[in-house]
A = this chain, B = another copy of it.
Amino acid sequence: MIELPQPYLIFLGDLRDKPSAKTAYGVRDWSPGACIGQWSLPECQIDLGLARMTPVRAHSEGARALLIGAAPFGGGLPENWISAILEALQAGLDIVSGLHTALSSVNEIATAAARCGRTLYDVRHSDYERSIASGRKRTGNRLLTVGTDCSVGKKYTALGITRAMQKKGRSATFRATGQTGIMISGAGIAIDAVISDFVAGAAERLSPDSPPDHWDIIEGQGSLFHPAYAGVTLGLLHGSQPDALVLCHDPSRYHMANYPNYRLPSLCEALDIYLRHGRLTNPRARFVGVSINTAALDAAEGAAALRNAEAETKLPAVDVLKNDLSPILELMDGASC
């Protein structure tokens, strides 16, 4: 499991469009206390609303790392960002990156980090996680978010439930399985970067034994219905051994994102197949709610989508960014060990 130095100075490079800054916005929204300020190249047109500062100033105010909060098209490292990264290393900051290109593979950066005694955290590279799953049932409670597709709100749902639990004084930990989640929480395993043989084992390590009243709220990945990523989803499901599951869905979508020939499953199809596989490693697995992403709908459409989902699944349906999550938390109490 990777553990990151916080707080961060968030670096935005020369980004011009918000979608490419998804990681930066996610960290700002869900972990504001971990963000000291923002820094960018002159061409940048993104403003997170944080104090603008240089690496030297951020370091003096307590920042421990420069977080590359951007996912440029293709996931590579733009040439013109390198000197900024070198400047941050020089100022005493470690570097946290979710780029496909490992910082440690860029000679100039690796050399400068060694010279400055700083650490490079390549969050997307977790192929060193190499333990085979034991299948042993662990103590404590686990909830896993699963989806009808990729990018339907599995991370936000897990974060929302964690926050709602903590507000009620309950013991709950968000367990990150993707790069943005890891940057938000400061720890986790990028599960889709683990060698396939070790995915379920990594999920077991991510959520170890815990006290009987504790819940780990695990960020799901992919979908069992996805032609490219279903294997990642299944390994994560088996290793997580969830007591409770929440199904995440975007009702404005009619086929898998980027795969127009692949239809979305119905909610009940999805409940059925997730439970069937979930019960292999935890026979007590059950669904405790449906998380509907109503961002693309108006108020009336959103309300109708929630009603339809409740009628179809007989489970509480919520938009985690808009609704009270108590109905889900109540069913979690019933699913607890």
Q: Which of B196, B225, B228 interacts with A191 by CB under 8 Å?
A: B196
Interface size class of A (residues with CB under 8 A): 35 or more
Residues A113-145 near B (CB distance < 8 A):
127, 132-135
Asked whether A273 is an interface residue with its Cβ less than 8 Å from the other chain, the reply is yes
Establish whether residues B225 and A230, one from each chain, have CB atoms under 8 Å apart when the complex forms. no
- Interface segment, one of A19-27, A232-240, A302-310: A232-240
Copies of this chain in its oligomeric complex? 2
Asked whether A259 is an interface residue with its Cβ less than 8 Å from the other chain, the reply is yes
Asked whether A231 is an interface residue with its Cβ less than 8 Å from the other chain, the reply is yes
Residues A178-222 near B (CB distance < 8 A):
191-197, 199-201
Establish whether residues A195 and B231, one from each chain, have CB atoms under 8 Å apart when the complex forms. no
Give the complex CA separation of A225 and B277 in angstroms: 8
Give the complex CA separation of A235 and B200 in angstroms: 14
Asked whether A33 is an interface residue with its Cβ less than 8 Å from the other chain, the reply is no
Give the complex CA separation of A199 and B259 in angstroms: 17
Give the complex CA separation of A337 and B193 in angstroms: 35
Q: Which residues of B contact A225 (CB under 8 A)?
A: 280
Asked whether A30 is an interface residue with its Cβ less than 8 Å from the other chain, the reply is no
Interface residues of A (CB under 8 A from B): 127, 132-135, 191-197, 199-201, 224-225, 227-236, 238, 259, 261-262, 273, 276-277, 280-281
